[in-house]
């Protein structure tokens, strides 16, 4: 499988690096870390993984800073939480060449104020004594892109690693849903027609927020509450009639962009609200598939949403193709985003694009990210 991807590349081959990628998603559950062996194009191997959950107080600090920009109240405290949690987890990994650090998205307003991920890669580079690639989104946004999603270039590598022959969709169900449509027949991810990616709509965030507010729980474990409720189809239809869903991709969302429309959930019982929020997540994905250039061979689901059997059942009922967790293709759905930022870190180091018109709507393929090297390494 790896050989097929290698033959298609036109750039000079490079030695693979052991990169450590990290991700702290919009669901605010914790930090994922994973080692990927890659030259920035083909996947040569998968390495160790780790997870460091946020404590309740840490999660409260992060939640209080959502929607805020550098210099505003609570942002410095959130950055400190992000940096300390990442440093604690990343220090457990040895034998890596560099790290990719995404940070914690607090605010995302492409076309407006920009994008804000809390946490400094320069701080982590000093603490860890490693080159750290970070600030992956700003360059894309500055050039007119949405700044998200960024995992599609890694999804392209995954499709090639899997040996896919037909278009496939990778669907990430985190706080917000996003998908990557991949044509593995293309030579490179930035080539025209190779990728189409965009945010589908709310996913776990409204469900998690509902569970936190009403039950004091982080999530609807196993979809148990949703399974006991009845879907308010009228509310689903009203949410899906919003202009976002008809807008052509690429397009992206902030975690709380649907807070207003979803306020109608407050009038429902706990179980009905959970069932309806879950149905909205599935319906949003179905609406997204209507924008694809061709029907995918299958939809592979990553992120926490794949562990919600009610959500997976709703997806299967609404989508026109097979739906399965990414584990069915030999991938790790808990670590795919962390692996993506390991892959992107190597691409940044090599000067390769990390986004393109089909993924973020940026005018041309662009390489984002900045590299921070530890001062003591530079002096040595």
Domain ranges of the chain: 2-149+335-379, 152-329
pLDDT at 9: 44
2 has pLDDT over 80: no
**For 157-200, what is each residue's pLDDT tens digit?**
999 999 999 999 999 998 899 999 999 999 999 999 999 999 99
376 has pLDDT over 80: no
6 has pLDDT over 70: no
365/355 Cα distance (integer angstroms):
6
380 has pLDDT over 80: no
Q: How confident is the model at residue 38 (pLDDT cuts 50, 70, 90)?
A: very high
Mean pLDDT, residues 260-285 taken together: 97
CATH topology agreement for domains 2-149+335-379 and 152-329: yes
pLDDT at 174: 87
| Rounded percentage of the chain residues whose pLDDT exceeds 70 | 96
Mean pLDDT, residues 265-269 taken together: 97
CATH architecture of the region 2-149+335-379 = 2-Layer Sandwich (3.30)
Q: How confident is the model at residue 252 (pLDDT cuts 50, 70, 90)?
A: confident
Q: How confident is the model at residue 106 (pLDDT cuts 50, 70, 90)?
A: very high
Mean pLDDT, residues 310-338 taken together: 97
Q: How confident is the model at residue 377 (pLDDT cuts 50, 70, 90)?
A: low
**For 214-247, what is each residue's pLDDT tens digit?**
999 989 999 999 999 999 999 999 999 999 999 9
338/133 Cα distance (integer angstroms):
13
Q: Which CATH number does the domain 152-329 belong to among 1.10.10.60, 3.30.420.40, 3.20.20.70, 3.30.420.310?
A: 3.30.420.40
**CA proximity to 254, closest of 325, 310, 202:** 202
pLDDT at 148: 86
Q: Which residues contact 339 (CB under 8 A, 6 or more apart)?
A: 21, 34, 36, 46, 154, 332
């Amino acid at each position: 499988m790896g050989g097929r991807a290698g033959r298609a590349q036109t750039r000079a081959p490079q030695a693979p690096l052991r990169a450590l990628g990290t991700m702290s998603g919009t669901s605010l559950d914790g930090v994922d870390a994973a080692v990927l062996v890659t030259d920035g194009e083909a996947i040569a191997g998968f390495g160790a993984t780790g997870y460091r959950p946020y404590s309740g107080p840490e999660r409260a600090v992060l939640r209080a800073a959502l929607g805020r920009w550098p210099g505003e109240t609570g942002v410095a405290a959130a950055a400190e939480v992000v940096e300390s949690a990442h440093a604690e987890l990343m220090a457990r990994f040895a034998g890596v060449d560099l790290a990719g650090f995404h940070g914690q998205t607090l605010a995302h307003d492409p076309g407006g104020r920009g994008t804000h991920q809390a946490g400094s890669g320069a701080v982590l580079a000093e603490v860890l004594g490693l080159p750290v690639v970070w600030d992956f989104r700003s360059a894309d946004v500055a050039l007119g892109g949405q700044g998200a999603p960024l995992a599609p270039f890694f999804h392209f590598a995954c499709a090639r690693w899997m040996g896919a022959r037909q278009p496939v969709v990778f669907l990430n169900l985190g706080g917000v849903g996003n998908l990557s449509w991949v044509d593995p027949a293309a030579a490179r991810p930035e080539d025209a027609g190779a990728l189409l990616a965009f945010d589908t709509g709310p996913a776990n965030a409204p469900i998690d927020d509902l569970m936190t507010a009403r039950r004091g729980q982080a999530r609807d474990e196993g979809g148990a509450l949703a399974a006991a409720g009845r879907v308010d189809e009228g509310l689903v239809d009203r949410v899906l009639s919003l202009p976002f869903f008809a807008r052509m991709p690429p397009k992206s969302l902030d975690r709380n962009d649907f807070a207003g429309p979803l306020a109608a959930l407050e009038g429902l019982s706990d179980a009905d609200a959970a069932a309806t929020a879950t149905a909205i997540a599935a319906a949003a994905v179905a609406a997204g598939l209507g924008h694809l250039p061709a029907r995918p061979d299958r939809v592979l689901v990553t992120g926490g949403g794949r562990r919600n059997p009610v959500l997976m059942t709703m997806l299967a009922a609404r989508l026109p193709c097979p739906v399965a967790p990414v584990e069915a293709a030999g991938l790790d759905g808990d670590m795919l985003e962390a692996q993506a930022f390991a892959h992107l870190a190597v691409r940044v180091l090599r000067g390769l694009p990390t986004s393109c018109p089909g993924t973020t709507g940026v005018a041309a393929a662009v390489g984002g990210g900045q590299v921070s090297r530890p001062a003591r390494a530079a002096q040595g």
